[in-house]
């Protein structure tokens, strides 16, 4: 079968032919309909050989959806032909975090060598994907795999970040979304669906700001040295109660801190390596700064419910598997509006 692999440090991803996997006991084979292209893949392909934590070659793709093609021995709960999405941040299933459904924060994943598909384990950018347990498959309930697959990360991750700030995002408040890309353009829709807050989107690109407005941002601000002042002016000088940074580079994290109101939540979601000092004279009183990772399985089901209700809709650009390297180039160049999705089987 064809697969999109990162094979050599610093090289571009390649489309290669690899053996088709067969499901062992407890495993499920998925015929992949769609696999999303995330900026985290660009980040991992920029790491040096010394800091690269996974084995090469690595089949990419940590957003996957498709049809159950075969069941390994003993698998129950899913059937051949079921249309499902893959829950990526897989855990041990037994520790206290996993027992709460928060497999993204599994306490034993590292020790047990459990890695998400596409982020260490073979990913979804291939004709077939082996899934280690049926519990990682979330039913799509009639949703289209192509437009829904990005919700497994670009929807789930902002949902997880936003959900816990909901008590602060009451009428009269402002939520700032920095970076209106794959995750950010879904975040804007989630904020509109779940809160009465005014939503301000910040990006370096006018096209992304236009996308932000078209998915519900009330205001848009170009990301430059004047951005913090403009966001503060939009909030009567008080700042925003929720700030969600989907770039996470030093300038945006600094901006996030500068526009955070008293008692605001700041979530650094982008993995650009920026850090925000917290303390007196650094941030406003009682600002909470977090760096959340992905989301829980129950939150993914909630995101799918929002999609079924028509509250979120991912803007997708589709590519055949042979075009996957082009999709990565375009993402790297900031040219994808919304999310690129690879269709490995057609
Ligand atoms: P993307 O490329 O689709 O979107 C990033 C957006 O940020 C783009 O619109 C870009 O123009 C904008 N941007 C870049 N620099 C900016 C700046 N200085 N000011 C304002 N906007 C700026 O990427 P994506 O796939 O949406 O991923 C976003 C980030 O989230 C990446 O860093 C990715 O690695 C990370 N991520 C984190 C998690 C997590 O669990 N924490 C999960 C998925 C992705
Ligand atoms: Zn991702
Ligand atoms: Zn666990």
Average pLDDT, integer, range 117-139: 98
Query: How far is the centre of ligand 3, averaged over its atoms, from the C-alpha of 138 (Å)?
Result: 18
pLDDT at 346 over 90: no
| Nearest atom in ligand 1 to 104's CA | 40
pLDDT value of position 60:
98
Ligand 1 pocket test, pick from 205, 246, 290 with the greatest ligand atom count within 8 Å of Cβ, gives 246
State pLDDT tens for residues 172-189: 999 999 999 999 999 999
Q: Is 220 in the pocket of ligand 1 (CB under 6 A)?
A: no
Ligand nearest to the CA of 274: 1
CATH topology of domain 156-290: Rossmann fold (3.40.50)
Closest residue to atom 9 of ligand 1, CA basis: 181
Q: Do domains 2-152+295-343 and 156-290 have the same CATH topology?
A: no
Q: How many Å lie between the centroid of ligand 1 and the Cα of residue 92? A: 28
Q: How far apart are CA 274 and CA 55, in angstroms?
A: 26
**Residue 252 and residue 257: Cα distance in Å, rounded?**
9
Note the pLDDT tens digit of each residue in 309-344: 999 999 999 999 999 999 999 999 999 999 999 999
Class (C level, CATH) for 2-152+295-343: alpha beta
Give the Cβ contact number of residue 131 at 10 Å.
Answer: 27
Determine if ligand 1 sits within 6 Å of the CB of residue 36. Answer: no
Q: Domain residues of the chain, as ranges?
A: 2-152+295-343, 156-290
Q: List Cα–Cα distances, 170 to 28, 42, 53, 264, 303, in angstroms.
A: 43, 36, 41, 12, 21
Question: pLDDT of 267-286, one tens digit each?
Answer: 999 999 999 999 999 999 99
């Amino acid at each position: 079968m064809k697969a999109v692999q990162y094979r050599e440090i610093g090289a571009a991803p390649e489309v290669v032919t690899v053996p088709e996997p067969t499901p062992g006991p407890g495993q499920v084979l998925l015929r992949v309909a769609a696999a999303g292209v995330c900026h985290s893949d660009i980040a991992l392909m920029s790491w040096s050989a010394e800091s690269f934590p996974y084995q090469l070659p690595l089949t990419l793709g940590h957003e996957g959806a498709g049809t159950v093609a075969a069941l390994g021995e003993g698998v129950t709960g899913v059937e051949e032909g079921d249309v499902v999405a893959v829950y990526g941040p897989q855990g041990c299933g037994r520790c206290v975090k996993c027992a709460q459904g928060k497999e993204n924060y599994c306490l034993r994943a590292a020790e047990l060598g459990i890695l998400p598909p596409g982020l260490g384990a073979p990913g979804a950018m291939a004709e077939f994907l082996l899934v280690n347990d049926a519990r990682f498959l979330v039913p799509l309930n009639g949703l289209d795999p192509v437009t829904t697959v990005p919700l497994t990360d670009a929807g789930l991750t902002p949902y997880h970040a936003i959900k816990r700030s909901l008590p602060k995002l009451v009428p009269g408040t402002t939520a700032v979304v920095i970076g209106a890309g794959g995750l950010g353009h879904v975040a804007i829709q989630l904020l509109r669906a779940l809160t009465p807050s005014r939503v301000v989107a910040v990006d370096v690109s006018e096209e992304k700001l236009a996308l932000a407005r078209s998915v519900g941002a009330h205001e848009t601000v170009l990301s430059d040295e004047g951005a913090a002042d403009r966001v503060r002016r939009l909030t009567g000088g008080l700042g925003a109660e929720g700030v969600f940074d989907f770039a996470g580079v030093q300038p945006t994290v600094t901006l996030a801190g500068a526009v955070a109101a008293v008692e605001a939540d700041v979530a650094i979601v982008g993995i650009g390596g920026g850090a925000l000092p917290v303390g007196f004279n650094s941030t406003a009183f009682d600002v909470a700064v977090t760096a959340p990772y992905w989301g829980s399985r129950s939150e993914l089901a909630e995101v799918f419910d929002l999609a079924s209700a028509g509250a979120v809709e991912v803007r997708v650009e589709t590519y055949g598997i042979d075009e996957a390297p082009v999709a990565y180039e375009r993402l790297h160049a900031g040219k994808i509006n919304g999310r690129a999705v690879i269709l490995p089987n057609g």
